[in-house]
Structure 1
């Protein structure tokens, strides 16, 4: 009897250790495998532990420093854009990538019914009330962690490109676990196809409508909260139309589905989280028209950032405890060369509380702290993020720059190499690696 008890006990111990090993192994798997292997209700058990917010700075920001940042340096310039066109749609620009005869030429039209490429699971009322709706976009549901490549592929399909999100992802994020694709990377991909592409910040609702009326779909980068269990994250969306009666934009969403009707106010609320960044892809012959629509900030970066700062200051005057407004002010100050002020604004944004994923997508605090010589802040923020996920190449690069500034060349070189293992196309890390290599 004693022998049997010992045998049963040993068997249970082996089974327990085996389950423990399996459990530990599952926790070590990249998240995309968890998504495939683990039933959805159980997946939160396998997500890595994370802070609720971005780590706050150790020192309190002096009130007099904040007050100085809230004072506009000059009156906000008045945009000198062309007169607002009527709501009558105009023909869309002819694409340079000619689609096959079976593919309808993209046009701007008020349809009586959805086009064949836009059949939706949940067609919004805005679709039937559309003032403007662009046809010719192929909707794509994103694969794991792939909203940037999927949204870019949808936008390119408007101009007759027949590639898929797999094609865009192969260049934009060779490692499927890479958490971020920047707007600049998406612009570079579109230009590699012979199309024009432009990324700007500080857009507004009326500008989006003007672009759509003139036949240009628009990619916007926004905050996104589809599931309370997952929390806030970044997301790209493609605008293809709008309805004034419904007060909504119509957009292609790689996560939620095609032809989503989203109220103007909701779009702007989450768009503001990314400084109202927008990307326009266009045939080269349409650049003149776009210059007219966007106005002086088309190619005047300083003016764009001055206006962005003035707008952030206006928002802070009304809501001084708004973390994202402080973040946007910091980004504008950074681009205007005011690095100490930018670092102060980012300190205040962190003190007020930012979603813990924000530094997966927006890297301006790293750049401001580096420029201000606050290398320990750069390392602390990079390490806090790397404890949650090792799949953002920019963090390795920023930490490497900080270590290099502190004289640790060997560790810096290793970090630049790691950044390039995640994304071999990451040119900043390649340049930094070449600078420290014998």
Structure 2
């Protein structure tokens, strides 16, 4: 090929590449195709660098108390103290005693979730039940500015409602039961839960196809033993059996979220009973999970829940041992992408090798998740190993993943104030 023709060909290809790249990054195009490109790259990485099952914990050495102050595992964002918008008025619904054999609340307008957006999408539908007019993207802009962020935790959803829909009340509790869900539904209050689910396809060759997912429950029927639910991923309104829901729900400590009108507060208070006190609710959940472990000692989720409930009480040694047992039995590959109690427990018991192993495992998944929590705790592990530069880089990465992440801001400030 003549030199001139060759150079013209190269120039043409470069121009095409530049134009194609520019078009790809146009917001409408990128919104539509970025996730498809990510799927292809994820599968390729899974072939080139296979991921295996989550490693088990090493035998713990003598636990040493940690002396670095860190944010507590409770939400750290500022919560608006007063409502910002008047809510609609209605008569508080009485609680039937006993509750009816079936309840079917009206379903709010459906919204199909965007990529990695089941939390904001499900919460958006929940708020629409009460007349809210926003969508999942309004919520995501606050709680997960980066579209690639694959997790929104319960505390972040609570933060959004209290600060951006403050005319409604929101609470969450753990250790819920099927009867708990039914009694709130019978009082006219939909219930949002987080559960484990099986994906429809593998995203990498060794994918165990397990992921976390939010659902909105709008009714139940004792005759068929089924809940009515709205699933932002699959169908507008569908059903699940009591047994199937319980099986999937246990992976997230039986957590449930309640959004309700201010005039329903007394009803919710009555229905909660002893669960109104958050410490009492956690202690009950801890005892429930211990009892479950005694009856089914090979269930990794029950041991994980034991650990998570101990973390709440800052009982990190007990928590770490429970998490070790859960890992020994076997946990899903993505488990630490959604729940971070192990990071707390390993850091506070000075088991830094386990902290590094756990965070690195998540960050090296073929999907390369943008997990600000894993980056944060990997940074704290590096800090404990004496690598302040590496720690700062991880904290900055966590803040890039979520610019509103206060724990990352705190970590950077800690480095500055403790040279």
Give the TM-score range, shorter chain: 0.7 to 0.9
Contact 2:107 2:218 (C-alpha < 8 Å) held by counterparts: no
1:247 alignment counterpart = 225
Structure 2 residue corresponding to 1:311, chosen from 288, 294, 300: 288
User: Which blocks of at least 5 consecutive residues in structure 2 are unaligned?
Assistant: 2-8, 14-19, 25-29, 62-84, 95-99, 204-208
SS of the counterpart of 2:236? strand
Q: Which residue of structure 2 lines up, in the alignment, with residue 269 of structure 1?
A: 247
CA contact (8 A) 1:34 1:43 kept: no
Q: 1:157 to 1:334 in 2, by over 3 A?
A: same
Aligned to 1:132: 103
Rounded Cα–Cα distance in structure 2 between residues aligned with 1:370 and 1:236: 29
Match in the other structure for 1:153: 124
User: Compared with structure 1, are the counterparts of its residues 369 and 33 closer, same or farther at alpha carbon in structure 2 (3 Å cutoff)?
Assistant: farther
| Displacement of 1:332 | 1.6
> Residue 286 of structure 1 is aligned with which of 254, 261, 264?
264
Instruction: Report the equivalent of 2:57.
Output: 57
Number of residue-to-residue matches in the alignment = 358
CA contact (8 A) 2:93 2:267 kept: no
1:323 lines up with 2:313 in the alignment = no
- CA deviations 1:375-415 (Å, max 9, x no partner) are 22111211121112140000111112222233332222221
C-alpha distance 242-177 of structure 1, shift in aligned 2 (>3 A): same
Task: Give the alignment partner of residue 186 of structure 2, picking from 184, 191, 213.
Answer: 213
CA distance, structure 1, for counterparts of residue 154 and residue 364 of structure 2: 25
Alignment match of 1:97 (pick from 87, 98, 104) = 87
Contact 2:92–2:263 under 8 Å retained in 1: no
Deviation for aligned residue 1:51: 2.9
Contact 2:93-2:187 within 8 A present in 1 as well: no
CA distance in 2, matches of 1:43, 1:105: 53
8 Å Cα contact 1:106/1:158 also seen in 2: no
Conserved in 2, the CA contact under 8 Å of 1:97 and 1:161? Answer: no
Q: CA deviation at 1:325?
A: 1.0
Counterpart contact for 1:106–1:159, Cα < 8 Å: no
Aligned match of 1:380: 357
Take 1:422 and 1:31, find their aligned partners in 2: how far apart are those partners? 18
- In the other structure, the counterpart of 2:396 is 417
CA-atom RMSD in angstroms: 3.2
Q: Which residue does the alignment assign to 1:19?
A: none
In structure 2, C-alpha distance between the alignment counterparts of 1:262 and 1:161, rounded to whole Å = 27
Within a 5 Å distance, the mapping from 1:10-409 to structure 2 comes to: 33=33, 35-36=35-36, 45-46=43-44, 48=46, 49=49, 51-59=51-59, 96-98=86-88, 131-135=102-106, 137-192=108-163, 193-194=165-166, 195-230=168-203, 231-301=209-279, 303-388=280-365, 389-409=368-388
| Structure 1 residue 57, shift from structure 2 partner | 1.2
Distance 1:59 1:32 in 2: 47
Which structure 1 residue ranges, 5 or more long, are not aligned?
4-10, 16-21, 62-94, 109-128
Q: Counterpart in 2 of 1:72? A: none
Distance 2:86 2:222 in 1: 31
Q: Is the 8 A contact 1:34 1:46 kept in 2?
A: no
Contact 1:107 1:135 in 2 (8 A): no
Distance (whole Å) between structure 2 residues aligned to residue 229 and residue 435 of structure 1: 41
Q: With the length of structure 1 as denominator, give the TM-score of the two structures.
A: 0.75
What residue number does 2:75 align with?
A: none
Q: Is contact 1:107-1:215 (8 Å) kept?
A: yes
The answer to whether the Cα contact below 8 Å between 2:192 and 2:258 also exists between their aligned partners in 1 is yes
Q: Where does residue 430 of structure 1 map in the other structure?
A: 409
Query: Residue 96 of structure 1: CA displacement?
Result: 4.9
Q: Is residue 249–residue 264 contact of structure 1 (8 Å, CA) maintained in 2?
A: yes
Query: SS of the residue aligned with 1:190?
Result: helix
Instruction: Give the conservation status (yes or no) of the 8 Å contact 1:137–1:155.
Output: yes
**C-alpha separation between the residues in 2 aligned to 1:317 and 1:374?**
27
1:273-326 per-residue CA deviation (whole Å, 9 max, x = no partner) reads 00001111112232221111111222232x222211211121111211111111
Change (3 A) 1:157 1:386: same
Residue 44 of structure 1, CA deviation: 7.2
By how many angstroms is 1:418 displaced? 1.0
- Deviation at residue 169 of structure 1 after TM alignment: 0.8
**What is the TM-score normalised by the length of structure 2?**
0.78
User: Is the 8 Å Cα contact of residues 32 and 177 (structure 1) preserved in structure 2?
Assistant: no
